[in-house]
Structure 1
Amino acid sequence: MRDEEYPAEQIGEYGVGGQPAVAARMTPHLRLTVAGIVVGALAVVAAAAGVATFPRFTTAATGVVWTALALVCAFVMTGICVVQLLAWRQAMAWWRGQHGVPSATLGRLSWWLHVGSYAVAVVALYAGISGSASAGWSAIAASALTVSLLLVLLAQVLGAVQYVRPDGPPGTVPTHVRRMLARERARQAAAAAIVERDGPGPR
Structure 2
Amino acid sequence: MRDEEYPADQIGTYGAGEQPAVAARMTPHLRLTQTGTVAAGLAVVVSAVAVASFPRFTTEATGVGWAVFALVCAVLMLGICVVQLVAWRQAMAWWRGQRSTPPAPLAPVSWWLHVASYLVALAALYACIAGSRTAGWTATAATLLAVALLLVLAGQVLGAVQYVRPDGPPGTVPMHLRRLFARERARQQAAAAIVERDSPRG
Query: TM-score, normalization: structure 1?
Result: 0.73
- Structure 2 residue 52 is matched with structure 1 residue 68: no
Q: Report the equivalent of 1:25.
A: 25
Q: Whole-Å Cα distance in 1 between the matches of residues 131 and 68 of structure 2?
A: 9
Of the two, which has the highest radius of gyration? 2
- Structure 2 Cα separation of the partners of residues 144 and 169 of structure 1: 36
Residue matched to 1:40: 40
Identity %: 66
The answer to whether structure 1 residue 141 and structure 2 residue 141 are counterparts is yes
Q: Which residue of 1 aligns with 2:175?
A: none
Indicate if the aligned counterparts of 2:12 and 2:19 stay in contact, CA closer than 8 A: no
Structure 1: give runs of 5+ residues left out of the alignment: 1-8, 171-203
- In structure 2, stretches of 5+ residues that fail to align are 1-9, 172-202
**Retained in 2: the 8 A contact 1:91–1:101?**
no
Q: In structure 1, what is the equivalent of residue 122 of structure 2?
A: 122
Give, in whole Å, the separation in 1 of the partners of 2:118 and 2:100: 28
- How far residue 104 of structure 1 moved from its aligned partner, in angstroms, is 3.0
Match of 2:93 in 1: 93
1:167 matched to 2:172? The reply is no
Question: 1:124-157: CA deviations, max 9, x gaps?
Answer: 0111111111111111100000110011001100
SS at match of 1:62: coil
Q: Give, in whole Å, the separation in 2 of the partners of 1:21 and 1:154.
A: 28
Moved over 4 A (4+): none
Contact 1:90 1:100 survives alignment (8 Å): no
Task: Please tell me the residue identity of whatever aligns with 1:122.
Answer: L
Partners of 1:78 and 1:106 in 2: how far apart?
A: 17
- Aligned length in residues: 161
**TM-score, L = length of structure 2:** 0.73
Cα separation, 1, equivalents of 2:100 and 2:128: 39
Match of 2:155 in 1: 155
Tell me how far apart the structure 2 counterparts of residues 108 and 17 of structure 1 sit (CA, whole Å): 19
Structure 1 residue matching 2:105: 3-state secondary structure: helix
Q: Aligned equivalents of 1:100 and 1:145: distance in 2?
A: 44
Equivalent runs, 1:50-65 vs 2, <5 Å: 50-58=50-58, 61-65=61-65
1:100 Cα deviation from its structure 2 partner: 5.1
Residue 101 of structure 1, CA deviation: 4.1
Which is worse superposed, 104-113 or 134-143? 104-113
Q: Return the letter of the residue paired with 1:12.
A: T
